Chain A
Amino acid sequence: MSEKSPRKLYKERNQRIVDAIAIKEPDRVPITPMVTFFHTEQKGISKKEAMYNPEKQAQAAVEVFSTYNWDAVPPITQIYPAKYLDMLGTLFFKWPGAASESSRLLDHQPYQFVEGEYMKASEYEEFFADPTGFLIRKVLPRHDTLFKGFTGFPNLINLASGYGAMLVGFPLYLIQPAAQEMFEKLIEGTQYMMRWLNTLNDYQGKMKKLGYPLQFLNMCQAPYDVTSEFLRGMRGIMLDMYRKPEELTKILEILTGPTIEATIRLGSLNPRLKIVFMPLHRGAEGFMNEKQFETFYWPTLTRVWDGLIEKGFIPMPFFEGKYTARFPFLTDFAKKNKGKIIYWFDQSDIIKAKEEFGDYACIRGNVPGSLLVTGTPKEVEDYVRKSIEGCMEGGGYLVDGGISGIPDETKAENVKAMTDAVFKYGVYRK
């Protein structure tokens, strides 16, 4: 038996995924696992080192992923560049080994989001009057210490007068030491980010040579989640639903267009990668009732999807938590966009998903994290078999884990069992 060349493997794997998304039966159900620190944990690299040594984490990714017969490998951008976070003095994350003590977690802890009210309820009007100016002068300094240098940033409307830029605007601003220091550090940080991006490109190139397509690189967020996580905070936005529903609706509207625009721009860096990952955080069951979901979460989310689909992108929302009760909404969108979207599920019922909208949307998921971390290979195999049997008919199914893919602590034998099960039970035709 002759081994297939990596080139041929790459083509076959890619086609398999393309078919699954288009709701056509490929030769086999594809397996496309996502990870965060799984590969570095497997190599005994601490989370701190993984975040501070991009070359080492990329090398671990190549070594670990190439041992599995996956149809596409995950991006490794989920491990953020900690050195750059240090340079920015990022405040909305804590991470292992951070330079600032108040942001520092222990070496084995994953980075974690810091909930905050980064924009106050009383600041909506200021935001509406000049969204960019407000974000630059007020919000960025609250997100990242370095951006305190933006506090005195000139009012851009003043540029209407040519003298505004020449005399009053930039020189008066840039003469301030805080501003100068910020730009110097930003340039230094950008050089570091170029190195980080090169490492990612290098990883992508190496995997391609080995015959593995990359799943995606591009990502964006739902306008509601951006507002909740980076502006008003979870508590703040929930109170706004009661106290400031009009302002909340308006800010969500304002964020929608730029979200689409920025995602398209990011996509142009890698035009062949069409999938856009969208981790959805705060629209799940329990986080709001159906009416609130319909009013505040869903409209701008679907407008982002529409905008991306229109430009040939394939949105891939990750429905973290439970969304089974929201299936009627998902069905409605899928029916209008057959073969153009991937719904990735965590704790929702994917067999029911298949029944309700599996003829229109590609389903991804959802081997539970608890099973991958603490279960036996046999239990994992059984779960994957059951999922494949329930979801494979007619195409439109990608096998992956639930909680953002494969949890960091997953046992290697369970990932092998998950992969092997796809080859055992997911074959449409030889």
Chain B
Amino acid sequence: MSNFVEEIVELNEETVMEILKDRLAKNEDPMVIMNDVKVATKKIGDLYANNVYFLPDLIMSGEILRQIFELVVPKIKDVDTTEKKGKILLATIEGDIHDIGKDIVKFLLDINGYDVLDLGVDVPAKAIVDNIKEYNPDFVALSGFLTIAYDAMKVAIEKIKDAGLRDAVKIMIGGGVIDEKILTYVGADAYGDSAMDAVTIANKWIEGK
């Protein structure tokens, strides 16, 4: 069935769905299919990391995966018990309502084995602190597209510190206006230049834990 994997990686929507329907009609174990999907997704993530695939390709792959899940998931009896690598709290910072970058990061973290709690956009510092307490994530990832995010991130990280939680979580930041200078300014632990950096950073951190 490597053909199936290949067609997903090549983003050939119609062929993928044809093969999938055929496999389901033959009563194939949905878990085997899901395993193929996992292999394909990993390959797509690698292509993105290597600048072969870009945003439109990720969006298209997400669309193909959505359709696959729609047909396969109802047939799965056992819940996926695959152990997650770690828990990540994700939010676009207060003042900023942009979600595209954040959603891509979520998608990439998710397909790379992380459990992501997405708090949405325009998230105030208090909500971030409260959720760290409740959810106990390994890492926090903050997104910002506007320069208004600089101070908002700084404030949020100060509040995390005030709540005595700064040592409990590593914090990464990212978004169109974020660079090395802002990393120092807000006091986070790492920044990402592209969405894939979130995965690279998380993998590095989780290995060190």
Contact = CB atoms under 8 A, between A and B. Distances in A.
Interface of A: 94, 105-106, 108-110, 112, 114-115, 234-235, 238-239, 241-243, 286-289, 292, 320-321, 368-371, 373-375, 403, 407-409
Contact of A371 (B13, B176, B181): B181
B73 interface: no
Interface residues of B, number: 30
18 contacts: A94-B97, A110-B148, A112-B97, A114-B97, A115-B100, A238-B55, A239-B56, A239-B59, A241-B56, A288-B56, A289-B52, A321-B176, A368-B181, A370-B150, A370-B177, A370-B181, A370-B185, A371-B181
B147 A292 contact: no
Interface in B85-133: 95-100
A238 B60 contact: yes
A286 B194 CA distance: 8
Given A288-B55, A407-B147, 20 more contacts: A110-B146, A114-B97, A115-B100, A238-B59, A239-B59, A241-B56, A242-B11, A242-B60, A286-B54, A288-B56, A289-B53, A289-B54, A321-B176, A370-B179, A370-B181, A370-B185, A371-B181, A403-B147, A403-B176, A409-B151
A114 B121 CA distance: 12
A374 B182 contact: yes
B54 A409 contact: no
Q: Which one of B97, B99, B147, B176 has the greatest number of beta carbons of chain A within 10 Å? A: B147
Nearest to B176: A321
B100 A409 contact: no
A57 B171 CA distance: 38
Contacts of B36: none
Contacts of A374: 150, 181-182, 185
Contact of B56 (A94, A105, A238, A375): A238
Contacts of B194: 286
Interface string B160-190: 0000000000000000111101100100000
A369 B177 contact: yes
Contact of A408 (B56, B97, B148, B178): B148
A91 B166 CA distance: 39
A290 B59 CA distance: 17
B63 interface: yes
Contacts of B60: 238-239, 241-242
B158 interface: no
B147 A369 contact: yes
Q: Which one of A243, A286, A292, A403 has the greatest number of beta carbons of chain B within 10 Å? A: A286
A287 B54 contact: yes
B6 interface: no
A374 B150 CA distance: 8
A96 to B, nearest CB: 11
A292 B148 contact: no
Nearest to A372: B147
B68 to A, nearest CB: 16
A235 B58 CA distance: 10
B185 A109 contact: no
Contacts of A287: 54-56
A112 B98 contact: yes
Nearest to B60: A242
Contacts of A320: 176
B177 A403 contact: yes
A49 B180 CA distance: 33
A202 to B, nearest CB: 29
A235 B57 CA distance: 11
A412 B194 CA distance: 31
B54 to A, nearest CB: 5
Contacts of A292: 54, 56
Contacts of A373: 147, 150
Given A238-B60, A374-B150, A109 B176 contact: no
A-B complex: 9 closest residue pairs judged by Cβ atoms: A238-B56, A407-B147, A370-B181, A374-B185, A238-B59, A289-B54, A370-B182, A242-B60, A370-B179
A235 B53 CA distance: 15
A292 B185 CA distance: 36
Contact of B96 (A112, A286, A375): A112
A286 B181 contact: no
